[in-house]
């Protein structure tokens, strides 16, 4: 009877393991270098406004909890803003502050406060707000149609957009309505193509939020 012994493949498997780890390390290094270079290119972008202390303890008009996906440049949803932690995806809360002045206190700042877990909070003053609408999402998270609220605003002289995925549908609808009523422009993705005097099409008469069960 002839006994055969299987060859010891431990060394071969270890070589494969080291090769795989090396590829992962190179991939991570490339990601880090790309992020660092992006931050270097964006170093001239102004820092966002800090949340005024007056608003931290005040009651917002509308608030919604969910995921702050991040901020991108203008309508380029794949061009993430890396500086000032604006591109980080975190759990957070968006608050609309538009309270009227009281008799014995000065008027509070009007705008949008964005609070994030483990990352920098910031405030979008009313004069910096541009538009509010819905879309699939931005770089970092893409979901169903109209499942993400897009807030367009200006950071210094740069047009940017922040994506927010509300946790609860009712809060998302209320937030979108409040934002839309206080922004001067129509979202770029929903601007009508009809002439000023022509009747709207069926697609334009449908509410964008009604197309998504999340909003």
Beta-bridge mates of residue 69: none
Domains of the chain from N-terminus onward: 53-190 (2.30.29.30)
User: For position 141, what pLDDT does the model report?
Assistant: 86
Q: Is the pLDDT of residue 177 over 90?
A: yes
Q: Is the pLDDT of residue 156 over 70?
A: yes
Contact at 8 Å (CB) between 122 and 71? no
20-29, 76-85, 126-135: which has the minimum mean pLDDT?
20-29
Q: Is the pLDDT of residue 63 over 50?
A: yes
Q: Answer with the residue of higher pLDDT: 74 or 107.
A: 74
How far, in Å, are 86, 155, 183, 189, 215 from residue 145 at the CA level?
24, 27, 22, 12, 10
Contact at 8 Å (CB) between 119 and 88? yes
Q: What is the pLDDT of residues 104-117, one digit of tens each?
A: 777 789 999 999 99
Contact at 8 Å (CB) between 154 and 185? no
User: For position 110, what pLDDT does the model report?
Assistant: 94
User: For position 168, what pLDDT does the model report?
Assistant: 94
Angle subtended at Cα 181 by Cα 178 and Cα 184, rounded to the nearest 5 degrees:
130
- Spatial separation of the C-alpha atoms in residues 213 and 215, rounded to whole Å: 6
What residues contact residue 86 under an 8 Å CB cut-off, 6+ apart?
48, 70, 71, 120, 122, 155, 160, 162
| Half-sphere exposure for 46 (CA within 13 Å, toward CB) | 14
Q: Is the pLDDT of residue 211 over 50?
A: no
User: For position 101, what pLDDT does the model report?
Assistant: 67
| Half-sphere exposure for 39 (CA within 13 Å, toward CB) | 14
User: For position 206, what pLDDT does the model report?
Assistant: 35
Contact at 8 Å (CB) between 137 and 147? yes
| Half-sphere exposure for 189 (CA within 13 Å, toward CB) | 20
Q: What is the mean pLDDT of residues 30-45?
A: 72
For strands 129-135 and 148-155, give the pairing.
Answer: antiparallel
């Amino acid at each position: 009877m002839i006994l055969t012994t299987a060859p010891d493949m431990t060394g071969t498997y270890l070589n494969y393991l080291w090769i795989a780890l090396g590829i992962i390390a190179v991939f991570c290094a490339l990601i880090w270098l790309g992020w660092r270079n992006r931050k270097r290119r964006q170093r001239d972008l102004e820092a966002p406004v800090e949340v005024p202390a007056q608003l931290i303890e005040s009651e917002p008009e509308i608030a919604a909890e969910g995921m702050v996906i991040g901020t991108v440049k203008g309508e380029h949803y794949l061009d993430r803003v890396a500086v000032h932690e604006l591109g980080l995806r975190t759990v957070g809360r968006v608050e609309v502050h538009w309270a009227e002045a009281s008799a014995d206190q000065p008027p509070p700042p009007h705008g949008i406060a964005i609070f994030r877990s483990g990352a920098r909070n910031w405030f979008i003053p009313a004069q910096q707000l541009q538009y509010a609408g819905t879309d699939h999402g931005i770089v970092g998270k893409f979901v169903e149609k109209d499942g993400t609220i897009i807030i367009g605003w200006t950071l210094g002289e740069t047009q940017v957009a922040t994506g927010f995925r509300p946790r609860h549908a009712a809060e998302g609808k209320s937030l979108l309505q409040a934002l839309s009523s206080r922004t001067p422009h129509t979202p770029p993705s929903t601007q009508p193509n009809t002439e000023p005097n022509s009747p709207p099409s069926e697609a334009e008469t449908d509410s964008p939020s009604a197309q998504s069960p999340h909003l």
